[in-house]
Structures are given as structure tokens and as C-alpha cells.
Amino acid sequence: MPDGADDLVRLEQRAGVAVVTLNDPARRNVFSSRLVHALAAAMDRAERDDASRCVVVTGAGSAFCAGAEVATLRGAADGEFDDVETVYQGFLRVRDCPLPTIAAVNGPAVGAGFNLALACDVRLAGPGAVFDTRFTALRLHPGGGHAWMLARAVGQQQATLASLFGEVWDARAAVDVGLAATLVEEGLVDAAVVLGQRLAHQEKAYVERLVATLRAALPTAAHADALADETVAQRWSAGRPAFLEGVRAIEDRIARRS
């Protein structure tokens, strides 16, 4: 059942997957200050739930997230930048989630809304998904680490096409460039939940440790450093009761075949 005091962001638990829905469809789920704070509160609740293994982020209505409010942009033009940094806190809160995150991009993801999609570990695109940096069209330099996140997702050349030359990707193009993992023609959120539920049998601590390793892998320059980090993590996981159970299950299957 939906849970949450602020209806600007809905939280629903679905068998180990927390579905977080930006719920201001009349304004295309823009990052207002209230929505940013409601999103942070929903993420806090999702992470505290012992059953949570994954978080799905999506938008109500026809848009995923249209980015900053026009009033925020006007304020920045007038020299008031604090509200822009408040917008950052919306997608950065999702980026900092220790659980794996899936963006179910149901419609346009624009500007800071594109950053919200980039902040997630995996992106699934619905038929109406559109990925539009929009910064250059506004003569505004990208912010919030946009260029860094986009280059990590699609490579330097494609990131340059989008952020400098204004390339806009629909759902199919996003899959082609590797921005989205797949196009889901129907049942986008359900598909994201089913993906997240693959982790239902895993320990929460294990999921969080592996997510941290995966996020750190690309910026790690040397294989030797990655080897050292993964050795520590693998040694940790080998001492967990869940690993022993897995080994015993393999031993039982071998014994039955014999």
C-alpha cells in the first residue's frame, strides 16, 4: 500500500522492491523544493525497511521529471543560485542510495530530470521516454555532475553530442547508445519491479556491498586496485552464513546426482 505523508512522492513496497513515484503530474514532476524534500523522505523510508533490496524511481503521468522549475531558472539568471543547488539534492539523494536503483523512465527526462535518471544504476525506458539535457538550449552550463554521469553512461562522444550539440534521444535511441538497458513496451514499472525482485533471496548487506563495488569499478584506474578491493569484499562475503548455505546447496545437488 502507498505510504508517505507528502503526496508529492509516493512510496509503495512490492515484495522487497520500493517503488518511489514522483507525483506532481500536472507540473510534469518538476523538482520543486517540496518535491525534493519529499523524495529524500521517501528514500529514507525505503532504505530503512529491512525488506528493501532495490528501489525503483518513476514519474506519475506523462513525464518522468521535467527538471527545475522555471522560477528556479529565473532566480539563477537574477543571481540567486541556492534553489538550483536544492534541485541537485533531489537526484543526488537517489545517487547516494546504498541499494541498487532502477529508473523506470516513463516519459521525458529533462535537465535535472535527466540527471535523476543518470543517478540510477539501471535505466528502463517506456515508449514515451525522452532524454533531453536541455542545458545548451537554455545557454546554461550543465550542472550537478551531468557531463560526468552522462559520459560514464554512454561514452565521451555520445555525451558531447547530447550536452553540447543538443542531441535528444527517444526510447529506442537511448537503448542503442547504451543509456537505457532496454525498451519496455508495456508494464514499465512492473518490469522494473520484477527485475528488482531477482534480489529477493539475497542478504541486504551483500546487495549493498556489491552495489558499492560496481559503482566504484569504472573510476578505479588500475586493475591491481580493483583486485585488492574485490579481494577484501569477497573474503567478507565468504564468511557470511548465506555463502555457506549456497555451498551446501551445491554439495547436496552433486550428492543427489551421484
Whole-number pLDDT of residue 5? 39
Does residue 20 register a pLDDT over 80? yes
- At 2, the pLDDT band (50, 70, 90 cuts) reads very low
How far apart are the C-alpha atoms of 202 and 224, rounded to whole Å?
28
Q: Give the model confidence (pLDDT) of 230-258 as tens digits.
A: 999 999 999 999 999 999 999 999 999 98
55: which strand partners? 18, 101
Does residue 10 register a pLDDT over 60? yes
| CA nearest to 108, candidates 33, 27, 182, 32 | 27
Does residue 3 register a pLDDT over 70? no
Looking at the chain, the whole-number percentage of residues with pLDDT higher than 90 is 86
- At 6, the pLDDT band (50, 70, 90 cuts) reads low
pLDDT mean across residues, the chain:
94
Q: Give the model confidence (pLDDT) of 174-198 as tens digits.
A: 999 999 999 999 999 999 999 999 9
Whole-number pLDDT of residue 30? 95
Burial category of 186 from C-beta neighbours within 10 Å (exposed 0-12, middle 13-18, buried 19 and up): exposed
How far apart are the C-alpha atoms of 129 and 117, rounded to whole Å?
11
Burial category of 57 from C-beta neighbours within 10 Å (exposed 0-12, middle 13-18, buried 19 and up): buried
Q: Give the model confidence (pLDDT) of 27-46 as tens digits.
A: 999 999 999 999 999 999 99
State the residue for C-alpha cell 503530474: 25
Looking at the chain, the whole-number percentage of residues with pLDDT higher than 70 is 98
Whole-number pLDDT of residue 1? 39
Mean local confidence (pLDDT), 136-150: 92
Least confidently predicted of 98-107, 122-131, 226-235: 226-235
Whole-number pLDDT of residue 81? 87
How far apart are the C-alpha atoms of 9 and 93, rounded to whole Å?
14
CATH topology of domain 2-199: 2-enoyl-CoA Hydratase; Chain A, domain 1 (3.90.226)
Does residue 4 register a pLDDT over 80? no
Mean local confidence (pLDDT), 89-107: 97
54: which strand partners? 17
Does residue 147 register a pLDDT over 70? yes
Residue ranges per structural domain of the chain: 2-199, 204-257
